Structure 1
Amino acid sequence: MKKALLSAACLGTTTVLAQVKDSLQTKNVDEVVMTASRKKENIKEVPSSITVVGEKQIQSQLTVNSDITSILQYTVPSLGTNSGQTSNSGQTLRGRQVLVLIDGIPQSTPLRNGARDLRTIDPSAIERIEVIKGASSIYGNGADGGIINYITKRNKTDKKISGTSQIGFTGQPYGGTLGVRASQLLSGKINKLDYTLSLAYERTGYTKDGDGVLISPTYSIAKMDNYNGLLKIGYDINENQRIEASYIGYSSRSDLNVGLKTGKYSITPTSGEGIGKGLETTPQGTPKNHNIRVSYDNKNLFAGTSLNINLYYQDFKTVYGYSDTFFNGGQSNVISQKKGARFNLDTQLWNSPNSQGEIIYGADILNDETVQKLEDGRFWTPDMSMTNIAPFVLAKIDLFKKFTIKGGLRYENIKVNVDDFNTLSTLKSDGTFTQSIPVTGGKLSYNALVGNIGVRYNIEPYINLFGSFSQAYSINELGRILRTSTSETIKSLETKPIIVNNYELGATGQLSSWLNYELTSYVSTSKLGASFVQSPDRALMIQRSPEIVYGVEGFLHFTPAKWIQFGGSYSWMEGITSVKDDGDYSAKINNSRISAPKVLAYVQARPIPTLSIGLDMLHSFQQNRFEPNAKTGLYAYGEGYVPEYTVFNFKSSYEVNNNWRVSLGIENLFNKVYQPAISWWTARDSDFTNALGLRGTFMIEYKF
């Protein structure tokens, strides 16, 4: 452990918090990351802030809640708190949208952001989660606030077969809440071929708040069947060449049939009322998310040069609940298909004892076809087909194993074809419907050169400094802009892309043999951002205006003895905008993007070698950044007052022997009745819902 802590002093990222805190037996804190530069590299060489949530921490959090959005809110300081629903609306990273990947395959739908991209895989299939914080152009469109890359499990043994079997039960102290969960992992190696097979199934029960009342069925995770399958096969052609193919399938569908009892914002929560009153004809959730990937690696293509090729395909559909805001009502969906290829070449320029130099270059090709429709076939957005071709180059220099310089350029060449369509007739605040109009589609073209540069200086164990400038380029929410069109042609709409400039400074180190720290500050600007705002008839629309987001985050980690450790993190951000584009940044970006300050704290102990116990705390501070309308007394969407709340989770595990382990986790340990932040900032009666009450999870695990 001492060796691990000494090496952790040089990390310069929140990785220490993520990697160390949930295992007193961590042996490899200096884990390599792949997402930051599209190749494996030590975290000590990365001049920006990264969080790596390791496998042991994922497993520990899984004993409390299998929802990946909950796992992320407890492990990534600058990520917004989760909604407790199937939607991850409001769970922004540093106040901006995040690009979600699985093994580098994009899961987000930036052409029409449906806020379902975080919940696209079961955590049992994940080996680690790499979070790149701040604008990034490394993987293309959509990474305004950063990247979350789920790295799936792989074979780690020379055995022909090994595995882990798990079965668990969840429940609340109320009737009808029992859920079941089972997963199976198999992996092995036969000669030059290795494989990994992961299967998971979960059936959730009814969800109730701390008073035992059914939680609102809108975007509910109750009575849901979740399926996940992973198959990964690799073949080592020789010591330098490897080919790998993988398939990941995920599905979640709810058969919840509970009526909606609408409450009153800030007074009476909206809840479920009785069985058999639901209006859905199609189960809400994400019925399919298929990912296929084939990769080829050659470590020695020619002198000093390696090659990586990735080909991928994603087929995604998500379905929302019934809404009467459309003429004749209905359920909407988002359907997206992506086909892409990534070509990476890595050339070592020189490699001496005191310095190294390399250049990474290649190109990305992506076709993204996205549409939002109603389940009855009516189009809410037109069919949109985006083709993105982006060559890139990245240079890296390491001097004296202390000083790292990285810089790169990426040229975005994007074309979007938009079909002709008719806008939907939607309900206005006065009870009348808007008139449907025909809109002529066409072709949109975008080009931009974006770049990044960063410096890292590992001075001494107690002080390491890093700073960076990075850009992101995205065409975000084009579909929402088009679907609310009042023009008969797309050429008159404001569809310009978002270019974000991100500036970051940070310090990290080890002040003593038992204390690690990190402190990071950042500023991100965009000449033309995109935010949800409320129109005069209370419908949502996209506001395009200049923006500045800035904030700080940091953590402390203490290990006073081998058997105990504790620590925590703090994050704060603010966002301002110039609504009139006159340089007067007097308006604030609303709370749908700017989340409240957040404190994460934890204590982990191992009183005896076979028993581990821990307690996690999440404290979300209040947000009081806006005033209600002087005449109506109502807050606009995204501007509602958010009170503070604190939640505790308990987790424990006991190793019966080398093969068997049992664990017990308790979410919302003190059965607190509260509303998540999204219930408040939306400022809507129907969205004002309570959070989940106390829920326990008991799991049995067998390894062989």
Structure 2
Amino acid sequence: MTVRKIVPLVPRTLLSLALAAPLSAHSASQSLDELVVVGSRAPTQISEVPGTVWVVDEEDISTQASSGKTLKQILGELVPGLDAGPQGRTNYGQNMRGRKALVMIDGVSLNSSRSVSRQFDSIDPFNIARIEVLSGATALYGGGATGGIINIITKKGEAGETRFSSMAGASSGFNDSDDLSYQLAQSVSGGNDQIQGRLGIAYAENGGTFDTDGNQVKPDVTQTDLQYNRSIDVLGNLGIWLDDNQRLDVTAQYYDSRYNGDTGLYFGEDFDAFTGVDPDSFDIRDGVNFDQEPATERYQVSLNYQAYDVLGHTFYAQAYTRGEELNFHPFPYVRADGSGGLLPGSYYSASQQETALSGIKLLMTKELTNWNLSYGVDYSRERFEADQMLFDLARAADTGGLAADKTDVVGRYPDTDIDTLAPFLQVEHQVTDALKLSGGLRYEVVDTEIGDFVDNAYQVRVSQGMISSAEAIPGGEETYEEFLVNLGAVYKLDQSQQVWANYSQGSTLPDPAKWYGQGDYTVSGGQALLDNGISIDGSPLQQVKTEQVELGWRTGKAKWDAQVALYYAWSDKEVATENLSVVVKDNKTRNYGLEASAAFRPADNWTVGGTTHLTRGEVKVDGDWEKASVTDASMPKVTGYVDWHNNYNQIRFQGTHLIDVEDEDGNELKGRTTFDLIGNRKLPLGQVSLGISNLFNEDYSTVWGQRSVIFYSPAYGPEEMFDYKGQGRTYILTYSVDY
């Protein structure tokens, strides 16, 4: 029988191709022979990648999830260069090396032109096999990959008897009856030599979140949170060997995460807390009834084909489609009239933003003597639409915002269509047994089409009958072309350690929806006449390119391992947020720092390790370098852990310290130090886990809570209404079994 030689594409079984048990990304101890795809888009040993690579395996994910952490918190704990993860729905500001990361599931991008920060509100950890992370800018993946790559690889079926996995868990801080969350999950997998498949379903129901004093954390009415949230993740895949040299993998996912309660933030009668009439009148109350509830709903389907011998090449092809619908919390845009009422033009609304993305990726690889050639093309088409639901203002005012009854729907942002075509070439040359050079080029063409659009505020006025009509800001088309280059070298000092140097470029188009469609009007005769507006013809959005240089060293030995990298990244444009809109300024920016991880195993059952990311972001203003705004700057962090285990037990004590950052305007993000304790015990059937998060009940404000205060206060209400506290000590009990 012919031996199958195919190496499956990104979504397939890189885990099964890895040598020796993969080790924790938290301890930087992944095997240097382990295969990853984030560095070159085709399976490559870590030791051959001229860049900082981290692998978070299934065991790491399961251990951290047993301490109550969400996916973004797990990655923030285990990946040094990635900022600590918030506890709400948003991952706004969770940058990698101070810049945006490209997040993917099985190689399919979760990023969109509208940079809504919900990439990690997309999959349950139960369905994840492993996560590969490449720190720093990269040319091979194109748009959005300015800070790094995070590729979430889902679990797949394997040949053999039918296998089942079950999981049940609950968590509480033992405050009141709402302080209880639980999770249930089930999977079935199996197959034969020809066909393998898996189906996994994960369900979670959250209660309220409580701080260190036992008080409920205020619901996030800006980006929404996960209190009283219900989520379900259904993921299935089927792998088929078409013959000995061809394979097809099909993966489909449906994910729904939405508010499912009746408790919310009370804004005071007539929104008095927002208008400043009575800033202390906000409260947490029952009685919520929204016609549009905060939610994330998405689906994804991908087909992956591989053939071993196509014109002497290995051929990889992926076709995919992804759709998502994101709902936000109702928000009051209100002003007081001086006599206890609301001024005309006040309104209560919530946005719904939809993205549809489809595309295809083609890759050919060929190995020659001392050379490796990879080339291909990526194509994608994205459609973005956004509406804003208006609610009955009088009823909302009477209930302090707890009731949101639909009255009308208007446009929130201009419709946006983006087509991206990007051929690429990557060449690797083994100069000597010790030295390997690599280089590549990506030529990216981005066609953007923006629809005609009436400024949102004037659409609301038309809906309210304040004016009869308003002129539209004309849309148009704009094409961006960019060459992205990468150059790298890896030198093996010996069989267990390498040094590397790397230069790479990445690019991004900053949020067209937040740029276009804003206008200045003059109202005459009941009509709003356009004076000027932000349009493609008058003020086209600029693309931003990031360049990065990196020097690194890594080693993996029996008793210890480590990885260290120094980096410097820069751009000639600054992307900033002003009045909740995106602006692009002709200011140079730079991020530089040190990213490191180490682990020491003094005995067979013990591991001691930690990571650090020391980083600084700066903007050049009037010839001087200034500290970057804390609304976007990364917080330096240090983590550490002690792990003891034997064949039946594991105990892990871990801590994270975030270091204060401050900007030129005097705004500050205050750090924190928190600890977790995790214990696992194997039973005759299954395993039980007990986790205690925030072990010492540290009192702190979340990073997003501190940023939210800067964004929304005092313009939209008192500071206390947006300062979201961290969760107090919480106990998590989980039982899992494979059979």
Scaled to the shorter chain, the TM-score interval is 0.7 to 0.9
- Aligned partners of 1:408 and 1:29: how far apart in 2? 23
Note the alpha carbon deviations across 1:57-93, whole angstroms, 9 max, x for none: 0011110125111111101112112221101111111
**Structure 1 residue aligned with 2:304, among 272, 295, 317?**
295
SS of 2:550's equivalent? Answer: strand
- Aligned partners of 1:347 and 1:41: how far apart in 2? 13
Q: Which residue of 2 aligns with 1:702?
A: 737
Q: Which residue of 1 aligns with 2:25?
A: 18
Note the alpha carbon deviations across 1:164-207, whole angstroms, 9 max, x for none: 11111111111221111111122112240010111100001111
- Aligned partners of 1:693 and 1:672: how far apart in 2? 7
User: Which amino acid in 2 is paired with 1:591?
Assistant: V
Q: Are 2:344 and 1:329 aligned?
A: no
User: Which amino acid in 2 is paired with 1:163?
Assistant: F
**Structure 1 residue aligned with 2:194, among 192, 195, 213?**
192
Correspondence 1:594-605 to 2 at 5 A: 594-605=633-644
Between 665-674 and 397-406, the greater mean CA deviation after superposition: 397-406
Larger radius of gyration, structure 1 or 2?
Answer: 2
Q: Which residue of 2 aligns with 1:374?
A: 388
1:191–1:499 Cα change, 3 Å: same
**Structure 2 residue aligned with 1:308, among 316, 335, 339?**
316
SS of 1:671's equivalent? Answer: coil
**Structure 1 residue aligned with 2:57, among 47, 54, 57?**
54
Q: Which residue of 1 aligns with 2:128?
A: 126
SS of 1:233's equivalent? Answer: strand
**Structure 2 residue aligned with 1:675, among 701, 704, 710?**
701
Q: Are 2:405 and 1:402 aligned?
A: no
Correspondence 1:538-553 to 2 at 5 A: 539-544=580-585, 545-553=587-595
SS of 1:237's equivalent? Answer: strand
User: Which amino acid in 1 is paired with 2:368?
Assistant: L
Offset of residue 543 of structure 1? 3.7
**Structure 1 residue aligned with 2:649, among 588, 611, 614?**
611
Q: Which residue of 1 aligns with 2:597?
A: 555
Work out whether residues 23 and 57 of structure 2, in 8 Å CA contact, stay in contact via their aligned partners in 1: no
- Aligned partners of 1:270 and 1:242: how far apart in 2? 63
- Aligned partners of 1:270 and 1:159: how far apart in 2? 62
- Aligned partners of 1:388 and 1:40: how far apart in 2? 25
Correspondence 1:146-545 to 2 at 5 A: 146-156=148-158, 158-175=159-176, 176-218=178-220, 219-260=224-265, 273-278=283-288, 280-286=290-296, 288-303=297-312, 305-325=313-333, 327-350=346-369, 356-375=370-389, 376-425=408-457, 438-460=472-494, 463-486=497-520, 487-488=532-533, 489-509=535-555, 513-532=558-577, 534=578, 539-544=580-585, 545=587
SS of 1:160's equivalent? Answer: strand
SS of 2:92's equivalent? Answer: coil
Note the alpha carbon deviations across 1:269-288, whole angstroms, 9 max, x for none: 999834325474312120x2
Offset of residue 643 of structure 1? 2.1
Q: Which residue of 2 aligns with 1:430?
A: none
Offset of residue 586 of structure 1? 2.5
Offset of residue 514 of structure 1? 2.2
Work out whether residues 20 and 29 of structure 1, in 8 Å CA contact, stay in contact via their aligned partners in 2: no
Work out whether residues 112 and 372 of structure 1, in 8 Å CA contact, stay in contact via their aligned partners in 2: no
- Aligned partners of 2:46 and 2:325: how far apart in 1? 35
Note the alpha carbon deviations across 1:359-410, whole angstroms, 9 max, x for none: 1011011001112321353222111000011111101123454322111101
Work out whether residues 21 and 604 of structure 1, in 8 Å CA contact, stay in contact via their aligned partners in 2: no
**Structure 2 residue aligned with 1:567, among 594, 609, 617?**
609
Offset of residue 349 of structure 1? 2.1
- Aligned partners of 1:648 and 1:172: how far apart in 2? 15
Number of positions where the alignment pairs a residue of Structure 1 with one of Structure 2: 648
User: Which amino acid in 2 is paired with 1:100?
Assistant: V
User: Which amino acid in 1 is paired with 2:575?
Assistant: A
Structure 2: give runs of 5+ residues left out of the alignment.
1-17, 268-272, 335-345, 390-407, 461-465, 521-531, 714-718
Work out whether residues 413 and 446 of structure 1, in 8 Å CA contact, stay in contact via their aligned partners in 2: yes
Work out whether residues 54 and 127 of structure 1, in 8 Å CA contact, stay in contact via their aligned partners in 2: yes
- Aligned partners of 2:687 and 2:417: how far apart in 1? 49
Offset of residue 688 of structure 1? 1.1
Q: Please provide the CA RMSD for this pair.
A: 2.5
Offset of residue 526 of structure 1? 1.1
SS of 1:377's equivalent? Answer: strand
Offset of residue 421 of structure 1? 0.6
User: Which amino acid in 2 is paired with 1:161?
Assistant: T
**What TM-score do the two structures reach when normalised by structure 1?**
0.87
SS of 1:248's equivalent? Answer: strand
- Aligned partners of 2:596 and 2:27: how far apart in 1? 16
SS of 1:495's equivalent? Answer: coil
Between 126-135 and 324-333, the greater mean CA deviation after superposition: 324-333
User: Which amino acid in 2 is paired with 1:695?
Assistant: T
1:502–1:271 Cα change, 3 Å: farther
- Aligned partners of 2:580 and 2:42: how far apart in 1? 44
Offset of residue 137 of structure 1? 2.8
User: Which amino acid in 2 is paired with 1:699?
Assistant: T
- Aligned partners of 1:540 and 1:421: how far apart in 2? 16
